[in-house]
A = this chain, B = another copy of it.
């Protein structure tokens, strides 16, 4: 197998090979050649099933490894912090400092580090990815440089624990999309295959699934959740990619867990593996402290940490629990209301893994008081935390919040019917954990406008018993929220002013009668095929479009094709201005049609295409702009802006 030399043209490679074989004599040329043939055959055989498999396998395994190592690091540092907090004894000031300074330092580092490398690494990343999947090119958003920044930043955010109350789903989706984009580039080098938009999109779709699946260890709901969140239309063809990559990820995750329990040192090996791979100078990281954003982060986290300080208000909101422990405690199988009389009703001096629910006990507030207080406080604390410019996910906190709502309702019902509900066959006891499951699924489902959270809850907890009531709760929650607001991710897209195409909500008959002619942009800057320097200059000044329509002539605006802005700029540079002084060695004559490559039109609308059809086309074909022709003549153009305006007018007629 010849090693591919990237960059070098074919001829050069051949020459180098000849030189090498002349210089060094090697034994058994025939046997070696036969072996080489065999290897080529094996390669062909393996790649015949489609090289996608290998890349998806690598992607899944890579992300699972990162997720696993991150989990271990976070757990270790969290344990260390908890130990420190315990060992400080009764000195309240030291206790307070250790409680607050630790998350403040970590989140400040996270903000500064990630923002100094790239401003794209902040936040969740799902809104931007969703925009990319609609066909918009967001430069550098998937560049591998962000990868290290986001991994380190996210690790620090997660280490800060439940004080800042942020999760890791969104960033992991972004991380695996970056990895997929990078692997895609590498693939073009290895297989010398034609890299195209189709393939890139397929890999990104699989990457989303991997991101969700490696966080929850739930391959199927991972795939479904990512489909629901990311796309408006889904190709069933892309289905298996997500499943395969997500399953590989989940397998790797378990494999690593087995390794880890056998030999504790493997984590350290992975640790060093990660730190040497950062694609930027480590010295850079010392300059970020001067940035302004870390100060905001520090102040907000200080406030959050002060509120959650366990001897203070924290004792009313079980603040000693980590994010994972919050979930475990809320999904506790027992009825807390029935347990409290038997227990001491005081939280134990240190968190006990076997009785996490006791953290919710308080001698004067009861579990109902602590749950209600938790919900009240975390509501605005979570909103505050989402403003922090550090890499963080917002799904997990919403999930926990929903579980707390469900647990509160469940415990209340159990209190009202202490002996269970009557039926013909006897008493059915109330099981609050069912309410907690439904609450988590319904709340997170309604915020993200997804239904697969119902399956996620079941996959994550491992039992399917409550599936039916959970699905119903999610459906009702979705029915209500989808009527009144866009999803959390769409909301972020709108706030960040990224290109966004709203859904046509109106099913009214009148909405089917709106046609393209009524809302298209009529003033399109077009170029005549015979246009010269002057015309091109005017057109470039008149608009900033990436491509310009070319028509037959100004008199008969028959649409011929499009020409890119870059081509026009080259045209201007290579042609002389008509009023320029003579003597320059540039072409004076020459029209657009002669000098520029005119791309043919793939698809065109007619003025009578309906709004619904146009919307459908934009959504499914990921269009950005399309020209409207009547009998071949250019009469207008429709972009996402016009479409959005038409849809908004439909909802709020003047």
Contact = CB atoms under 8 A, between A and B. Distances in A.
Given A468-B219, A503-B237, A606 B600 contact: yes
A293 interface: no
Interface string A611-637: 011001100110000000101110000
A50 B617 CA distance: 25
A449 B237 CA distance: 10
Nearest to A461: B464
Contact of A250 (B458, B463, B468): B468
Contact of A475 (B228, B243, B458, B617): B243
Nearest to A218: B467
A458 B464 contact: yes
Interface stretch (A283-291, A552-560, A589-597, A642-650): A552-560
Contact of A629 (B479, B620, B632): B632
A475 B247 contact: yes
A454 interface: yes
Contacts of A606: 600-604
Nearest to A196: B512
Residue of A239, A459, A560 with most partner-chain B CB within 10 A: A239
Contacts of A53: 479
A227 B236 contact: yes
Nearest to A480: B49
A615 to B, nearest CB: 11
A93 interface: no
A236 B455 CA distance: 16
Contacts of A605: 602-603
Contact of A220 (B254, B471, B479, B602): B471
Contact of A464 (B464, B604, B632): B464
Interface string A542-561: 00000000001000001110
A231 interface: yes
A198 to B, nearest CB: 7
A1 interface: no
Interface in A445-489: 451, 454-455, 458-459, 462-465, 467-468, 471-472, 475, 478-479, 483
Contacts of A608: 600-602
Interface in A221-235: 224, 227-228, 231-235
Contacts of A560: 631
Nearest to A49: B479
A630 to B, nearest CB: 8
A22 interface: no
Contacts of A530: none
A612 B617 CA distance: 16
Contact of A236 (B233, B240, B507): B233
A231 B465 CA distance: 30
Contacts of A607: 600
A609 interface: yes
A373 interface: no
A59 to B, nearest CB: 15
A14 interface: no
Given A464-B462, A631-B552, A49 B483 contact: yes
A336 interface: no
Contacts of A254: 468
A509 interface: yes
B604 A604 contact: yes
A90 interface: no
A25 interface: no
B512 A194 contact: yes
Contacts of A471: 219-220, 243, 247
A254 B472 CA distance: 14
A541 interface: no
B247 A236 contact: no
Contacts of A552: 631
A546 B61 CA distance: 53
A399 to B, nearest CB: 19
Nearest to A465: B462
A642 to B, nearest CB: 17
Contacts of A610: 602
A633 B552 CA distance: 14
A251 interface: yes
Contacts of A232: 235-237
A16 B608 CA distance: 40
A602 B233 CA distance: 21
A244 interface: yes
A61 to B, nearest CB: 14
Contact of A621 (B234, B239, B509, B616): B616
10 contacts: A50-B479, A247-B475, A250-B468, A254-B468, A459-B464, A462-B464, A558-B631, A559-B631, A601-B606, A602-B609
Given A250-B468, A251-B472, A602-B606, 6 more contacts: A50-B507, A196-B512, A233-B234, A234-B235, A602-B609, A603-B604
A-B pairs, top 9 by smallest CB distance, nearest first, are A632-B632, A600-B608, A194-B509, A620-B620, A602-B609, A631-B632, A558-B631, A247-B471, A234-B234
